[in-house]
Amino acid sequence: MKQRVPDAAAGERLDRYLASLPEVGSRTAAERLLTGRQVLVDGESRAKSHRLTGGEEVEFDPPERAAPELAR
């Protein structure tokens, strides 16, 4: 999935930005993507503490979500 970082996200850390996306959903999931070097910012892998400037292209494969268990 490719997504343009909105200008309003300028100055935000990459991990926090990813966690705010519905496709990622949590800081833990964002951390897993970043640790696995599965996130590219303008075509390059970046640290979780990377500060966004707005306008970058972020590319990643959304994590798979576990199916909720049905009550028995």
pTM above 0.75, yes or no: yes
Region 44-68 average pLDDT: 87
Is the per-residue pLDDT at 7 higher than 70? yes
Confidence of residue 62 (pLDDT cuts 50, 70, 90): confident
The two structure tokens encoding residue 8: 């309003």
**41-67 burial, b for 16+ CB within 10 Å, e for fewer?**
beeeebebebebeeebebebeebeeee
Confidence of residue 68 (pLDDT cuts 50, 70, 90): low
- Strand, helix or coil at 16? helix
Cα separation, 57 vs 3, in Å, equals 6
The whole-number pLDDT of residue 64 equals 76
Is the per-residue pLDDT at 66 higher than 90? no
